[in-house]
Amino acid sequence: MKKQTTSLILTIYNQEEIIQNVIKSILDNMSTCIKEIIVIFDACTDKSEEYAKEIFDKVTNAKVIYNYADDLYELKCNNIGLKQSTCNYSLIIQDDMIIQEKDFDKRMLKPFIFLDTFAISSRIAHNYILYNDIDLAWTDFAGYDPYNLKILPTLRDIFTIRDVCNRGPLMLDNEKVQSLNYLDEIYWPLNLDEHDICLRAWERGWVSGVYWIKWTSKEEWGG
């Protein structure tokens, strides 16, 4: 396994009501493996930037880098963060997620002990099947389910491999992402960018899947 250094990527769009709680949940629970926090303000028209910087400007235990986009293009923003990352791993957190687990980033690094691991989501992963010899369908979902994790807590410690994983919290091996030339922005209108890069990784023998940390996100926040 590579040295455990992680860049946390946070894309923010008009979340003035919750963004400080989101940021505090990250800062209060992250480990020393996070060396830099890359923040991309995505065409914000409210006070999200002001509120976010009130907290980030006081951070001393990690480097904070600000970037801007102007077209409400989350995939583009994620690519900005991935291309700027100087660490061995990148962890994408969405601006509607409250992290609830200490050292969450260090826990998500655990499956990377396997050298063929490419990407890990703590939200969802699934397989693809071909039907009618043409069309693809999603199947074999493995999703974040606090109820099932409570009943069977050992699920937390199983790295569940699927064809693709997507949505944050999403951890990626930076060297492998670079070799694949990052996310393909042509897929943004269909929200299939993470599916695409996971399948391109699979063609090289690298695997993706899910591994659980505790977080919450409400639908009214955008989640």
In this structure, the chain runs to a length of 223
* Percentage of the chain modeled with pLDDT above 90: 67
Laid out side by side, the sheet with 135-143 consists of 135-143, 124-131, 164-166
Mean of the pLDDT values across residues 43-54? Answer: 94
Cβ-Cβ contacts under 8 Å for 50 (sequence gap 6 or more): none
Distance CA 99, CA 18 (A): 13
pLDDT averaged over every residue in the chain: 89
pLDDT score at 129: 79
Triad 13, 19, 22: Cα angle to 5°: 120
- Segment of 50-54, 159-163, 188-192, 217-221 carrying the highest mean pLDDT: 50-54
pLDDT of 212 over the 60 cut: yes
Q: How confident is the model at residue 79 (pLDDT cuts 50, 70, 90)?
A: very high
pLDDT of 221 over the 90 cut: no
Cβ-Cβ contacts under 8 Å for 183 (sequence gap 6 or more): 75, 78, 79, 82, 193, 194, 196, 197
pLDDT score at 189: 59
pTM of the model: 0.92
Distance CA 52, CA 49 (A): 5
Backbone angles phi, psi at 139, to 5 degrees: -155, 170
Higher-pLDDT residue of 221, 215? 215
pLDDT score at 142: 79
pLDDT score at 100: 94
Q: How confident is the model at residue 148 (pLDDT cuts 50, 70, 90)?
A: low
pLDDT of 84 over the 70 cut: yes
